Chain A
Amino acid sequence: MSRIDRREFLRYGALGASSLALSSFPFGGKILDFCPRAYALELTGDLSTEEARYYKKLEESVVGCELCPRSCKVADRERGYCGVRENREGEYFTLVYSRPCSLNVDPIEKKPFFHFLPGTTAFSMATAGCNVNCKFCQNWDISQVRPEQTRNYYLPPKELVDLAVRYKAPTIAYTYSEPIIFYEYMYDTAKLGHTKGVRSVMISGGYIKEKPLVDLVRHLDAVKIDLKAFTEKYYKEVCHGELKPILECLVTLKREGIWTEIVYLVVPTLNDRKNEIEAMCAWILDNLGPDVPVHFTRFHPMYLLKNLPSTPVKTLEMARRTALEKGLNFVYIGNVPGHEGENTYCPECGKVLIKRTGFSILSNDVVSGKCKHCGKMIPGVWS
């Protein structure tokens, strides 16, 4: 038996959210006070009763969820694995529509997106819930709880888009927990956002069925996928998920032509073997091409994995070197501020294109989507 102190996680979370935190935690306030244009938001104790999409009615008032590959069969009065979808007498409802529990204005680099509007901000939001249970989750205090256990705002799609506009964020980021579980809210907000010139990006584990994914990406502008490992064993034992559907999701995103970046959290002893990273890079090269950015990020002990050390920087460097040798063009090191692996290099002339430290841009030599030095087209969304 072991006990892990939750306050410690809240402290990490507060630091992670930087000075822009609105409050994913019960501060008790109703005011977004991170900038001079303070805006009153309404806290709500009620959960939503919006009917879920992508489910079928089965016998005996059971419903079959068709949103994610887990395909939960949910009996009356019960919830799916995500904890935010509930069967009420044979109808399935999302409990978190318009009920975010965490709102922040973040640098887009924090998501991380390195090839999507660098230097801009993303109005970032999450609801409670997740459809996997990763032992290293940094945000477990919102992702691994039910919506009754978070303090939620009432923020319908229109008001969420208006907030992003008010705070001059060109993008809304659905992030922190797992956006797939608040699919309906994300879908409606992203669709509405486009009518007002606000873009949408999803930061996700990619555990979603093809049909809802295809329907959704029409209204998104970029997707970041956490490819957590390249073995089914890891997905099963560490994440309570599956690898195969994630690979299928990545292929679908490629086919649909939406800008995609990949994050691989390198966890000591669990997914840091060179041959596993080689195999993953070979798969990426074959199925997604050489231009998808891959971020190897540093693990810190969290949640149910407090027994492992932080990832050694040399392990991240090995992973980056392996990916570059395999032929990937844009490979990054994350969570090591100031490391040269944070920079974007031109695959043609080798010069630094975007110099970063942490979430800050120090210089940007991508001009009209091209290398300023040699004119090479640099893939991404630059304007």
Chain B
Amino acid sequence: MRSKVVLVRHKNIFDSRGRLKRPSVTEALDAGLKALTGDRDSRDSLRSLFDASGAVALKSNCLSGRMLSTAPELAFSLAEELHVIGIKKSNVIIWERTERELASAGYSLNPKGGDFRVLATDSRGAGYSRSLFVSGKVGSLLSRIMTGIADFAINMPILKDHNLAGLSGGMKNYYGAIHNPNKFHDNNCDPYVADVNALPDIKNKNRLTVCDCTRVQYHGGPGYKPHWCEKFGGLLLSKDPVALDRIAYNILEQLRRKNGLGSLKEERREPKYIFTAGDDEHKLGSCSIEDIDFVEVGLS
């Protein structure tokens, strides 16, 4: 079965001061969802993926502060869309590892609900699982947001270079769901990223990846380095986490070439884990470009 990855680029997504414009973000998100599922209405796209009675956890990436994190404008646009299809606001959870990271990226914490919930694994009442989960070479405790709160998940990473993994996109973002990510960075994170994403609570619950490519850090990551960060103005969407990372890998390499940098392979940082995730042992998605329908949508 073929996989589809959608790249939406919006020429008018930043205002004159470089801030994201929420209406344009929502417009790009809607266009991406429609292109992904073939529906005429993005709400139908979401209905095809999520049961309105369930809780949906949106995994952000807020390691690198306001300038290089999943934009709140995007996370809340998606949260609103989920609410519109009938999911209770308190059942839409935007989350990260720590409250500190969420706050640094511009999110206001709201762990208890009443509106969309914004919480972290270190929030009171969350924490990590008591049981250890084992997958391949990974043995970890998992965030209880994934094991105990969420029925479904949406991965909302950013696209950035990573000094050890090579690329940090969708699958790598779930390192933020385990208690011991520091143990799994050897060998360019291979096969560990694939093993983490094979954990049943991640593999079975994650229905969609929406990668924030409004800004892309093409070198010097994972921290924010403005001189190697491009205002790309895009979103990547897919139901296949491996296919999305495979396309993200191409985009990152294109940006590196454009800016006179060597390839990740030349720097011995090739994200091999993408191909491991697509191998016969893991079967998490399509890692071959030939098996991926890549759709580009331009907005202005």
Give A contacts to B, CB under 8 Å.
Answer: 1-7, 60-62, 73, 75-83, 133, 135, 144-146, 148-149, 240, 303-304
In Å, the complex CA distance between A122 and B128 comes to 32
Least CB distance, A341 to chain B, in whole angstroms: 32
Residue of B nearest to A77 (CB): B223
| Contact residues in B for A135 (Cβ distance below 8 Å) | 139
Interface flag for B76 (CB, 8 Å):
no
6 contacts between A and B (CB under 8 A): A6-B130, A75-B163, A79-B182, A81-B183, A81-B186, A144-B180
* Chain B 60-76 interface residues, beta-carbon cutoff 8 Å to A: 63-64
- Chain A: which residue is nearest B63 at the CB level? A77
In the complex, B133 has a CB within 8 A of chain A: yes
B98, B132, B185, B186 — most chain A CB neighbours (10 Å): B132
Pick the residue among B128, B134, B183, B223 that contacts A149 (CB under 8 A): B128
Answer yes or no: B164 CB below 8 A from chain A CBs. yes
Smallest Cβ-Cβ distance to B162: which chain A residue: A75
Contact (Cβ within 8 A) B180 A145: yes
Residues A3 and B164 in contact, CB atoms below 8 Å apart: no
Residues of B within 8 A of A60 (CB): 220, 225
0/1 interface trace, chain B 239-272, chain A, CB 8 Å (1 if under): 0000000000000000000000000000000000
Q: Which residue of B lies closest to A90 (CB)?
A: B223
Tell me, rounded to whole Å, the shortest Cβ–Cβ distance linking B177 to chain A.
14
In the complex the two chains form, what is the Cα distance from A7 to B141 in whole Å? 13
The answer to whether A73 and B163 touch across the interface, beta carbons within 8 angstroms, is yes
Cβ-based interface call for B298 (8 A): no
Contact of B131 among A5, A73, A77, A149 (CB under 8 A): A5
Known contacts A75-B163, A148-B98; A7 and B182 CB within 8 A of each other: no
- Given A2-B134, A7-B130, A148-B122, A75 and B180 contact (CB-CB distance below 8 Å): no
Q: Which 7 A-B pairs have the closest CB atoms?
A: A76-B223, A83-B182, A4-B132, A75-B163, A6-B130, A3-B131, A304-B139
Most buried by B among A7, A76, A83, A146: A76
B93 to chain A, nearest CB (A): 20
A146 in contact with B164 (CB, 8 Å): no
State which of A4, A77, A83 has its C-beta within 8 Å of the C-beta of B180.
Answer: A83
Interface of chain B residues 213 through 235 with chain A (CB within 8 A): 220-223, 225
**Contact present for B64 and A304 (CB under 8 Å):** no
> Are A3 and B163 closer than 8 Å at their CB atoms?
no
Known: A77-B64, A144-B180, A146-B182. A3 touches B132 (CB 8 A): yes
Which of chain A's residues have a CB closer than 8 A to the CB of B134? Answer: 1-4, 304
Residues of B within 8 A of A2 (CB): 134
Q: Which residues from B are CB-within-8-Å of A62?
A: 163
Chain A residues with CB under 8 A of B163: 62, 73, 75, 78
Chain B nearest CB: distance from A167 CB in Å?
32
**Whole-angstrom CA separation of A148 from B135 in the bound complex:** 24
Contact string against A for B residues 128-156, beta-carbon threshold 8 Å, 1 for contact and 0 otherwise: 11111111000101000000000000000
Decide if B139 touches A303 in the complex (CB within 8 Å). Answer: yes
Residue of B nearest to A73 (CB): B163
- For the complex, give the distance between the alpha carbons of A4 and B138 in Å: 13
Q: Is the CB of A80 within 8 A of B133?
A: no
**B71 CB, nearest partner CB in chain A, Å:** 18
Query: Judging by beta carbons under 8 Å apart, are B180 and A6 in contact?
Result: no
A1 with B223: CB separation less than 8 A: no
Q: Is B38 an interface residue (CB 8 A)?
A: no
**Cβ of A265 to closest chain B Cβ, rounded Å:** 18
Give the CA-CA distance A148 to B183 in the complex, in Å: 16
Residue on B with the closest CB to A76? B223
Min CB–CB distance B141 → chain A (angstroms): 7
Q: Does B179 contact A (CB under 8 A)?
A: yes
CB distance from B238 to the nearest CB of A (A): 25
Tell me the smallest distance from the CB of A135 to a CB of chain B, in Å. 8
Q: Which residues of B contact A79 (CB under 8 A)?
A: 182
B residues less than 8 Å from A3 (CB atoms): 131-134
Q: Specify the chain B residue showing the minimal Cβ separation from A2.
A: B134
Asked whether B23 is an interface residue with its Cβ less than 8 Å from the other chain, the reply is no
Instruction: Point out the residue from B122, B141, B200, B225 that lies within 8 Å of A6, measured CB to CB.
Output: B141
- Chain A residues within 8 Å of B129, by CB: 6
Q: Are A6 and B131 in contact (CB under 8 A)?
A: yes
| B180 cross-chain contacts in A, Cβ below 8 A | 83, 133, 144-146
- Closest Cβ neighbor of A78 among chain B residues: B222
Q: Which residues of A have CB within 8 Å of B225?
A: 60
Q: Which residue of A has the minimal Cβ distance to B68?
A: A77
Distance, CA A79 to CA B133, complexed state (A): 22
Contacting residues, chain A, for B122 (C-beta < 8 A)? 148
How many angstroms between the C-alpha atoms of A5 and B133 in the bound complex?
A: 9
Q: Which residues of A contact B185 (CB under 8 A)?
A: 81
Which residue of A is nearest B139, CB measured? A304
Contact present for B223 and A61 (CB under 8 Å): yes
Distance A68 CA – B242 CA, assembled complex (angstroms): 35
Q: CA of A144 to CA of B134 in the docked complex: distance in angstroms?
A: 14
- The answer for the CA separation of A359 and B191 in the assembled complex, in Å, is 42
Q: Across the two chains, which residue of chain B brings its CB closest to A84? A: B182
Residues 176-219 (chain B) with a chain A CB within 8 angstroms: 179-180, 182-183, 185-186, 199-200
Cβ contact of A5, chosen from B128, B130, B223, cutoff 8 A: B130
- Apart from A1-B200, A75-B222, what are 16 other A-B pairs with CB-CB below 8 Å? A1-B199, A3-B131, A3-B132, A5-B130, A5-B131, A6-B129, A73-B163, A77-B64, A78-B163, A78-B222, A79-B182, A81-B182, A82-B182, A83-B180, A145-B180, A303-B139
Contacts of B162 in A (CB 8 A): 75
Find residues 14-43 in chain B having any chain A CB closer than 8 Å to their own CB: none
Shortest CB distance B249–A (Å)? 19
Minimum distance in angstroms from B256 CB to a CB of chain A: 15
Q: How far is the CA of A303 from the CA of B134 in the complex (A)?
A: 10
Q: How far is the CA of A144 from the CA of B131 in the complex (A)?
A: 14
